[in-house]
Each structure stands twice: as C-alpha cells, then as structure tokens.
Amino acid sequence: MKSESWGQSNAAGEVRRGQVFLAAYLIVTLELTFLFMQFGVMPYLAKNLGLDSVGFGYLQTTFGVLQLVGGPIFGRFADQFGNRAALALSCASASAFFLLLSISTSIPILFLSRLPSVFMHGLPGAQKVITDLTAPSERAAALGKLGLCFGVGIIIGSALGGVLSTKFGLSPSMCCNREEIPGCIEFTGCCLLLVEYAVCWGTLQAGKFVWLLSSRESPPVFL
C-alpha cells in the first residue's frame, strides 16, 4: 500500500511539475511579447507627446538603469521569499508598467511608467524555477525551451506591435475616438499580463507540492 501511495504521489508530482514548467514558459513568452510590442512603438508615442531625441534617449536610459539596479534586488527577493513570490512580483510589475503606459498623456507620466520595470525580471525568475526543478540531465533541454519562448516573444511582439498600432493607434483614447475596440498595445498588454499574473500565482503553488515530494538535499525555494 505504501509503495502504491508513493507511486501515485510521484505521478501527481510529475503532473504538477509540468504545470509549473508551462506557467514559466507562458510567463516568458507573454512578457517578452508585450515588451517588444511597446519597444516598437515607443519612439512614435514619445514623439506624439512632444519628446525630442535627447529626451527619448533619457527615457530609454531610465529603463536600462532601473533594470540594472533591480536585477540584484529581484534575485535577493527570490532567495528570501521563493520563486513563486518573485515571479508574481515580476508579473504584477509588468502589469503596472503597461497600465501606466496606457494612460501616459504627458512626458512626466511616460517617465513614471518606467518605474515598475525595476522588478520586471520574468526571464531570470523562470530560469531559476527551471533550474531548481530539473535534474542535470534534463536541464539543458528545459532551458533551451525557455530560450525558444524568448525568441518567439521577440518575433511575435515586434510584428504585433506594428500591426496593432497601425490599426488602433498608440493610446486607448485614440482607439475610442475612432470608435474602435480598445486594442492598443499598452492596454492589451496590461490586461493580458494581469491574466498572466493570475496564472502564475495559481499554477506555481504546485511548486510547493513538488518540492515536498522531492528527495533532493537542496533547500525548497518555493516554501
């Protein structure tokens, strides 16, 4: 009876581990898709708001500096509170990023929208999850799939950003003025990343169960 119960627990653990992997792949794909959607149209949005080339350079520099500063803080947060909390923080930050971007009607708000990017580190968080839950023999293949999601996000995001901005405009108000469905990239990115946040928080709870079934000696990062 004990062996049968253990076998069922292992099978359930494998299923839930697969769910964790799918959630990590989804997070990376969506985050990179929406990130490169806004990268493609950001110069046009900045120009419409009256930002010149030097100001746009400052805007991009602000984003890079925040990412640089936030990386070590995000890593420390993941070590202290676990990967589930870290990925949830990344998704919530991305949602706030796109929400602020969607209501950017002035240059100060546009700069303010860069602030949540300090914790937008979905890819490192997903890499940490994959590394922790895979054996050394499986790790290269799992991380390779994560890299594939990265590339897919870049390709789809760049193309989709151009298509949506051409058809619906650069801001929700422009979409409404044209009596179109609000399908601008910032608003769409915010809404779908909120869905991603819900998926991340719900599915990654399976990681705790996976670690309880694990026989490794390394500490459980999901607890």
Residue ranges of the domains in the chain? 18-212
Q: Could you give the angle at the alpha carbon of 213 between the alpha carbons of 208 and 217, nearest 5°?
A: 90
Q: pTM for this one?
A: 0.72
Burial class (CB in 10 A: 0-12, 13-18, 19+), 196: buried
Q: Are 201 and 89 in contact (CB under 8 A)?
A: no
The rounded distance, in Å, linking the Cα atoms of 100 and 109 is 7
Q: Convert 108-129 to b/e letters by CB count within 10 Å (16 or more is b).
A: eebbebbebbbbbbbbebbbbb
CATH number listed for the domain at residues 18-212:
1.20.1250.20
Give the distance from CA 209 to its chain's centroid.
23
Q: Does the pLDDT value for residue 103 go beyond 50? A: yes
Q: What is the pLDDT of residues 5-45, one digit of tens each?
A: 444 455 555 667 777 888 888 888 888 888 898 888 888 88
Q: What is the pLDDT of residues 35-93, one digit of tens each?
A: 898 888 888 888 888 889 999 999 999 999 999 999 999 999 988 988 878 888 888 88
* pLDDT confidence tier of residue 207, bands split at 50, 70 and 90: very low
* pLDDT confidence tier of residue 212, bands split at 50, 70 and 90: very low
* pLDDT confidence tier of residue 2, bands split at 50, 70 and 90: very low
Check residue 194 and give its pLDDT: 54
The rounded distance, in Å, linking the Cα atoms of 179 and 196 is 28
The 3-class secondary structure across the chain, one letter per residue, is CHHHHHHHHHHHHHHHHHHHHHHHHHHHHHHHHHHHHHHHHHHHHHHHCCCCHHHHHHHHHHHHHHHHHHHHHHHHHHHHHCHHHHHHHHHHHHHHHHHHHHCCCCHHHHHHCCHHHHHCCHHHHHHHHHHHCCCHHHHHHHHHHHHHHHHHHHHHHHHHHHHHHHHHCCCHHHHHHCCCCCCCHHHHHHHHHHHHHHHHHHHCCHHHHHHHHCCCCCCCCCC
**What is the residue type of 173?**
S
Residue range 171-196: mean pLDDT, rounded: 46
Q: Could you give the angle at the alpha carbon of 76 between the alpha carbons of 74 and 78, nearest 5°?
A: 70
Q: Are 1 and 106 in contact (CB under 8 A)?
A: no
Residue range 179-194: mean pLDDT, rounded: 47
* Cα dist from 135 to 174, 180, 192, whole Å: 50, 50, 32
